[in-house]
Structure 1
Amino acid sequence: MKIATPYYLIDEKKLLRNLQIIQQVRQLAGAKSVLALKCFSTWCVFDLMRKYMDGTTSSSLFEARLGFEKFGKETHAYCVGYSREDILAVAEFADKIIFNSVSQLDRYYDIAKAAKVGLRVNPGISYSHFDLADPARKYSRLGVTDKEVLAKQIPRLSGLMFHYNCENDDFETFVRQLDTIGGCYGDMLKQVQWVSLGGGLYFTKEGYPLEKFSKKLADFAGEFNVEIYLEPGESAITGCAELVTSVVDLVHNEMDIAIVDASVEGHMPDLLIYRLPAKIEASGRGDHNHKYMVAGRSCLAGDVFGTFHFKDKLEIGSEIRFADAAGYTMVKKNWFNGLQMPAVAVRRLDGTIEVRRKFSYADFMNNLS
């Protein structure tokens, strides 16, 4: 099936591989997993995902509502800063409402208390390769840091949330972190019903010690008599999607440069934010002797996907596929330069490809005012 580029292509078979690992951890550890919508909210594959996950968690009213309406199951509502209107809305449907601060808990507890109320804790430890994404960075506003203040809130809470990781694929670090949390907050954990360990744990990575991971979770749950929630985002969807583009021009400025009909700034902005190169399947060395810088077609000078080696020379119309285009990509895409928004397509489990959404000038116009 020929689809006009650019478009995002989600592969359900690749997605299923991650979901089956999530299910395995659920079975071995008894830990529930709720999808982090801040990472991935493309609801056309929620029918598959809900078979293997327990619900969704959010960072805003709109995400919470999307999870409730399109995913179903458990709906966890969290936000760094709720308005009164937000709380009144989420209280209508959320199973759990998690506050970021004691001041927000005080202000809105009477509205939220019909749900299971939680509070985010900042344990002062974290794992992140980037200061920008470090929840425990200096002056962090994310979660309660004072243990004495936290202890006074426990009678009003049904659970605690600890979100302190970003792409942590190191099991031994995870163990040390969890032991620290147990040692520091064990008395409070024994007084609540559930604990969320947040997202950022890359336990679907190839070779990750799943049985040891699951046992550690189960032991922690047993020691403190709590139900554990994980909030996989990247772990749920990593490797399952790509951004498919076509070369629209070839120029030379000390090196060969291929310009494609998409944009890093508009369509894979996390690469710019974290200064990372894109990934291209089937690009390498060996007999891949044709070197190109691949760049986007926005006016931003630094709109560059990276430098890659190709087996064949690129031509106008050559297709280039950028891997890992699901997490923190589709949710962040934007209309910078008014560039054509990539369509959204899904390769279903039976191999058929379904184009779920195309975007037009009307979408661009209506995004403004």
Structure 2
Amino acid sequence: MNTSLQQHLDDTRQPTIPSPCFILEEAKLRRNLELIDSVQKAAGVTIILALKGFSMYSAFPIVREYLSGATASSLNEVKLVNEYMDVKAHTYIPAYQDHDFDEVLTRSSHLTFNSWSQWERFGPRVAQYNQQNPDARVSCGIRVNPQYSEVATDMYNPCVPGSRLGATRDQLPDELPDGLEGIHFHTLCENDSFTLERTLDALESRFGTLLHQAKWVNLGGGHLMTREGYDTNHLIGLLSTFRQKYNVDVIMEPGSAIAWQTGVLVSTVLDVMNSQGIDVAVLDTSFAAHMPDTLEMPYKPRILNSYHEPVAGKPTYRLGGMTCLAGDFMGDYSFDKPLAVGDKIVFDDMIHYTMVKTTTFNGVNLPSIGVWTTDNQFNLIRSYGYESFKDRLS
């Protein structure tokens, strides 16, 4: 975390940062985007923002300085792309709906269909639209399932038996029909370029003939190129070779990589108690409502100025969320000194995927959202209260 931000949080005389609060560090976002931009330029590919991983639209003007587009998986995300990225969306929705398909179509530059039946159902409507609007033509693709993935957690693995995501080779013809120009797959999850290489081998072995017919190939997300140690030179070589081999435009839409390690979730200790021999600290945030991935994946988030695992002899706590869900907790962490009411607990790397999944379960307020700017100032972007909770209900 930025030293000035850390000092700001440590200074009890500074009341400007609310709690709980997501804080995006602008300098770190730009650092990631600069790296991603260097990859797309060197490889001759197009890298776009995936809203499912990062939908903080107040930061989209920064993203637009480096990336030319964004991908959406719902009409609402499509509208956000149009409004704040100022472009039409690359759209993939697992199942399009009659009542909003025409609006999705007019707001998109690319449409990917999840199955052959979806293509057969909606393809004619795209063809009619393209005929009537030649200057706003939409390019269509089909999502495929290469039946290969190295994602260990089934919840995030789109290639498990019975997966509804993408068509297997036996479900597709030998030739792409008129109007179907792209091949799309998404089977990675925070993986490296060597995983991508093995995945491309599986893709080519099953779909090679169709790849030669395609105009573009979307490699989906899960390319964690901003993680320390990622071999971007290997990625650039891999992408360049693939693009030239099939003479296609290559598109990538990383989710985590954009906002990886770009910000924190600040929370405050509300209570400290002992429960049957276990010291517990109750926070003003919630793992279930504000950090659901920690329970779904699951994974144990890192906390700044703490020990990730218990250390004998140091004050150790199980951290609990503020909801009444019994499982809304994460443990155990050690600290250099005992925790007290009012102490700040800062969860690291909480901008990608976390912010987009928050809920108001139990009526808890959503965390505020702010930005720590490159000139070391805190800008509060949004706070939430009763109206945000009420608007989700009826």
Maintained 8 Å contact 1:117/1:157: yes
Maintained 8 Å contact 2:303/2:345: yes
Aligned to 2:212: 190
3-state DSSP of counterpart to 2:80 = helix
| 28, 40, 44: which one aligns with 1:14 | 28
Aligned to 2:134: none
Identity of aligned residues (%): 35
Aligned pairs for 1:106-117 (under 5 A) are: 106-113=120-127, 114=130, 115-117=138-140
1:266-287 superposed Cα distances (whole Å, 9 cap, x missing partner): 1001111122212112222789
Compute the TM-score of the two structures, normalised by the length of structure 2: 0.90
- Runs (5+) with no aligned partner, structure 1: none
Shift of 1:312: 2.1
Task: Give the aligned CA root-mean-square deviation in angstroms.
Answer: 1.7
Confirm or deny that 1:367 pairs with 2:392: yes
1:337-360 superposed Cα distances (whole Å, 9 cap, x missing partner): 101221111112222211111111
Aligned to 2:339: 314
Aligned to 1:202: 224
Shift of 1:86: 2.4
- Runs (5+) with no aligned partner, structure 2: 1-13, 131-137
Shift of 1:198: 0.4
Maintained 8 Å contact 1:189/1:224: yes
3-state DSSP of counterpart to 2:172 = helix
Shift of 1:31: 1.3
Change in 2 beyond 3 A, CA 1:307/1:150: farther
Distance 1:276 1:330 in 2: 16
Aligned to 1:277: 300
| 80, 95, 100: which one aligns with 2:94 | 80
Maintained 8 Å contact 2:147/2:168: yes
Confirm or deny that 1:216 pairs with 2:241: no
Q: Which residue type is aligned with residue 160 of structure 1?
A: I
1:53-91 superposed Cα distances (whole Å, 9 cap, x missing partner): 121111111111111111123510110011012211111
User: How many residues get paired?
Assistant: 368
1:143-202 superposed Cα distances (whole Å, 9 cap, x missing partner): 111346243444331211011111213x33321221232333222112111100000121
Change in 2 beyond 3 A, CA 1:87/1:249: same
Aligned to 1:53: 67
| 358, 368, 375: which one aligns with 1:350 | 375
Aligned pairs for 1:119-268 (under 5 A) are: 119-147=142-170, 149-169=172-192, 171-253=193-275, 254-268=277-291
Distance 2:331 2:23 in 1: 20
Maintained 8 Å contact 1:87/1:112: no
1:292-330 superposed Cα distances (whole Å, 9 cap, x missing partner): 111111101111133111122211000001112122211
| 30, 37, 62: which one aligns with 2:44 | 30
Aligned pairs for 1:279-294 (under 5 A) are: 279-284=302-307, 289-294=314-319
Moved over 4 A (4+): 285-288
